[in-house]
Amino acid sequence: MEHSVWKRLMWLVILWGGSVLALAAVGMFFRVLMAAAGFKAH
């Protein structure tokens, strides 16, 4: 019982971390795309 709780918790952390990294990658991609189009961030 204890092992399955830790396993689920680890999967939750892995999926959360993966989604955060994916969002960061998409954000950087759009920033590069905007810079290439001539828009400035600031």
In terms of residue numbers, what domain contains 2? 1-42
Are 37 and 27 spatial neighbours (Cβ–Cβ below 8 Å)?
no
Give the CB-side neighbour count of residue 2, counting CA atoms within 13 A.
Answer: 0
In the predicted structure, residue 1 carries a pLDDT above the cut 60? no
The verdict on pTM exceeding 0.85 is no
Give the pLDDT band (50/70/90) at residue 2.
low
Give the pLDDT band (50/70/90) at residue 39.
confident
In the predicted structure, residue 38 carries a pLDDT above the cut 80? yes
Q: Where is 27: in which H helix or E strand?
A: helix 2-37
4-36 pLDDT, tens digit per residue, is 999 999 999 999 999 999 999 999 999 999 988
Domains: count for the chain: 1
